[in-house]
Structure 1
């Protein structure tokens, strides 16, 4: 399952993020991405609060590990290490938002300038345009 997550290279952020979130969800390790960090435990904490705190810490640690192992080394070294998976994912997203923006611009240019030139069937041409449109919607 983890091996289906592509390595983040900088040009595949949207796909990478989608697969990371899906993988963490399937593995039931996305608690730290869905919920804020629980308050510190006290002597008055209930067993339920203790269990939630323990589960959140475990999911947070494993989520950060998965995020780090699916990022290319040259990118990983430029990111500061944080203690919370949600913050780490947000920092990565902020860094690659501009890459997605330039990719979107390229897809729009391709889509608006593409003409049927007769080298392939009209059906294939429409499929290529539909695929470009779907990629653009994903961004």
Structure 2
């Protein structure tokens, strides 16, 4: 059974007495696919999200509503992650290695949302997040010609 039949095909015309056997078969398969797809989506979407999605009898429409809703959520998440990345500071509650890993993970999440953070920008964000006692290190980094990637930067700092 093709569960995605209702997601890939428009709703077929209603069957009539004069409909051919293959049309009747396709209509029944589409109806079953639509019903099961809707049930599956409604069962797996969190209740707080379900309440903001309009009721529809088409799995394809339901999926479009979900996509539309989360497109705007992705935009706000990008803003939140960018703010977190640019304002993050190293505090002594975690190691330097964990701090760099956390910042790298935020950059990876941004990339998965379509916002590429260049390696040299990430190194600069990490530099900016360091406390004042790393001032001499920052001056040294800024005076050398070479640009380090995050791995090189991490190995030097840790």
Same fold (TM over 0.5): yes
Aligned-residue RMSD, C-alpha: 2.7
Cα distance in structure 2, aligned partners of 1:132 and 1:115:
14
Q: Select which of 120, 124, 128 maps to 2:95.
A: 120
Task: Report what 1:65 is aligned to.
Answer: 39
TM normalised by structure 2 equals: 0.55
SS in 1 for 2:99: helix
Cα distance in structure 2, aligned partners of 1:101 and 1:132:
15
Cα distance in structure 1, aligned partners of 2:84 and 2:4:
36
Gaps of 5+ in 2: 114-158
Cα distance in structure 2, aligned partners of 1:29 and 1:133:
36
Task: Report what 2:54 is aligned to.
Answer: 80
Q: What count of residue pairs does the alignment treat as equivalent?
A: 111
Task: Report what 2:111 is aligned to.
Answer: 137
Cα distance in structure 2, aligned partners of 1:82 and 1:69:
15
Cα distance in structure 2, aligned partners of 1:29 and 1:54:
12
TM normalised by structure 1 equals: 0.61
Gaps of 5+ in 1: 1-26
Structure with greater Cα Rg? 2
**Cα deviation digits, residues 64-99 of structure 1 (max 9, x gap):** 112222234444344331110110121233234332
5 Å matches for 1:19-98?
28-42=2-16, 43-47=18-22, 49-98=23-72
